[in-house]
């Protein structure tokens, strides 16, 4: 049920609003002062506020200002109730952030229509915002794993690289590759291969800190940037991940035997490289060594600061 908070210093006005709007199916909460109204906004979380302008101590304009300054409910719909029909007053109400106004004495039919219109507009705005967020998420997320896609990873990772370089802080970069992934697809089918990618992505993300940057940058290739981490710290993280992955038993053969899924990782720490691309090349070299030495291992690129 839609909840409306009416703020007015006149009890008679509040009774009229409460009774009339409850008859229209709204859940009503009332306050007799601006300060009480702000407190009830925080407690009751109404969907809309009906706000009288002419109140002592804290008038409607001041209450509206406090609402719009709030980080939590700054976009709460507000309809001003006012007996002052001067254009300058009505303009001030809208300029202060009111969604609409109703002049006193008001027609209840008109009030309900304006309430429904503001609520509908707010609902549409929320829907558009959510759709925009979904589109933005699609632009930055890998559809298969939910991790950052290649473009988004490099955007975030480049920003973190510049911060670490300026602050002279440690940083590690890792590139990970699921071993024999083509063979997995050929033997078990692409749907099962997709399951492996999703499971690995989830396992990888759960192994990292919230501020680590992780993305899927190729078919079975993943990349991680770890701020404030030395290579051996990263090595310990990815060794634990490698061990966990084997124990997950993601694939099994027809005879019931387990087909282990393994991962190879190449790690490099911050060097004198001026660009992230240089670190990525070094991490890729370490990954190549891990593959060349038999896979299912984690290699730290040597000859760099640790």
The residues spanned by each domain of the chain are 3-137, 150-301
On whether the CB atoms of residues 197 and 288 are closer than 8 A, the answer is no
What are the pLDDT digits (tens) for 25-42?
999 999 999 999 999 999
Give catalytic status of residue 220 as yes or no: yes
* Residue 178 confidence class, pLDDT cut points 50, 70, 90: very high
Find where tokens 């990263």 sit: 234
* Residue 206 confidence class, pLDDT cut points 50, 70, 90: very high
Backbone dihedral angles phi then psi of residue 40, each to the nearest 5 degrees:
-70, -30
Q: Look at the alpha carbons of 27, 33, 37, 39 in this order and tell me if their dihedral is positive or negative.
A: negative
CATH code linked to domain 3-137: 3.40.50.2300
How many CB atoms are closer than 10 A to CB 39?
12
* Residue 230 confidence class, pLDDT cut points 50, 70, 90: very high
Which pair of structure tokens corresponds to residue 237? 């993280």
* Residue 159 confidence class, pLDDT cut points 50, 70, 90: very high
Tell me, yes or no, if the two domains 3-137 and 150-301 fold the same way.
Answer: no
Which one-letter DSSP state was computed for residue 301? P
Determine which of 75-89, 133-147, 150-164 has the lowest per-residue pLDDT on average.
Answer: 133-147
Domain 150-301 CATH assignment equals 2.60.40.420: no
What are the pLDDT digits (tens) for 238-267?
999 999 999 998 998 888 888 999 999 999
Q: Which of 220, 239, 248, 254 is catalytic?
A: 220
């Amino acid at each position: 049920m839609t909840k409306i908070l009416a703020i007015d210093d006149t009890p008679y006005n509040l009774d009229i609003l409460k009774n009339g709007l409850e008859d229209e199916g709204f859940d009503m909460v009332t306050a007799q002062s601006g300060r009480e109204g702000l407190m009830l906004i925080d407690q009751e979380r109404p969907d809309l506020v009906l706000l009288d302008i002419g109140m002592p101590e804290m008038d409607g304009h001041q209450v509206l200002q406090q609402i719009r300054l709030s980080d939590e409910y700054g976009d709460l719909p507000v309809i001003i109730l006012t007996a002052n029909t001067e254009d300058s007053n009505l303009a001030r109400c809208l300029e202060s952030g009111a969604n609409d106004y109703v002049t006193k004495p008001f027609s209840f039919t008109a009030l309900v229509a304006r309430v429904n219109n503001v609520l509908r507009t707010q609902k549409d705005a929320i829907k558009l915002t959510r759709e925009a967020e979904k589109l933005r998420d699609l632009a930055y997320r890998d559809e298969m794993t939910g991790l950052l896609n290649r473009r988004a990873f490099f955007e975030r990772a480049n920003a973190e690289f510049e911060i670490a370089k300026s602050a002279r802080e440690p940083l590690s970069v890792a590139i990970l590759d699921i071993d024999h992934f083509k063979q997995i697809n050929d033997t078990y089918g692409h749907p099962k291969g997709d399951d492996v990618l999703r499971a690995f992505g989830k396992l990888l993300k759960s192994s990292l800190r919230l501020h680590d940057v992780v993305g899927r940058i190729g078919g079975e290739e993943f990349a991680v940037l770890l701020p404030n981490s030395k290579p051996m710290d990263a090595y310990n993280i990815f060794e634990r991940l490698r061990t966990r992955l084997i124990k997950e038993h993601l694939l099994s053969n027809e005879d019931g035997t387990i087909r282990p899924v393994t991962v190879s990782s190449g790690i490099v720490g911050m060097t004198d490289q001026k660009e992230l691309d240089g670190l990525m090349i070094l991490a890729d070299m370490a990954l190549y060594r891990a593959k060349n030495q038999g896979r299912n291992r984690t290699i730290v690129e040597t000859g760099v600061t640790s």
